[in-house]
Chain A
Amino acid sequence: EVQLVESGGGLVQPGGSLRLSCAASGFTFSSYWMHWVRQAPGKGLVWVSRINLDGSSTSYADSVKGRFTISRDNAKNTLYLQMNSLRAEDTAVYYCARVPVGGYHFDYWGQGTLVTVSS
């Protein structure tokens, strides 16, 4: 069974940093591109970032470029999102999601982890 489990969320002050993790199981993690998607409280889904199979290629939404870094450890079957210079508007539930081989859609999602940026 495919499982994606996010962790690392919590309360952080503006300007602070946080690292999210997404532990993958039930599939060959190194064979799939992975993404982060976020959802502010009561708001819609927003695509954040994606990473290719070996981590050599990444993309970011303009709103997080230069502040967030996506990475992966295929030996640990884990996806990461390092978030720096956090702002109040980064407050959201962060989901990791898998893209199937050759696809451009998200076939499995984690349950999400809440990040709250507040003083």
Chain B
Amino acid sequence: DQQVKQNSPSLSVQEGRISILNCDYTNSMFDYFLWYKKYPAEGPTFLISISSIKDKNEDGRFTVFLNKSAKHLSLHIVPSQPGDSAVYFCAALQTSGTYKYIFGTGTRLKVLA
């Protein structure tokens, strides 16, 4: 039972355009959502997060949107840069009841120069 899903394994975007990465979840008990970025042979690094009580959080070129009714979140990168090429993981956290920290399977983003 995959509680956090990233249905697009890969995405290619032209430099300067918008990158949109999507993530769906099934567990309504998640109260925090995060995005991590991972380069080859390195550990994931935190990018941006959002609490379940908000619907948008912005940090520079990165914006995360949360649609609780659809159980869907997305990461927007504007403008995309070649250095953004990496694997992006969404993660969901449940802190009440059973502790859960669940990662999606990742989306490989390639930004073309």
Binding between chains A and B: no
Chain B residues within 8 Å of A, Cβ to Cβ:
none
Chain A residues within 8 Å of B, Cβ to Cβ:
none
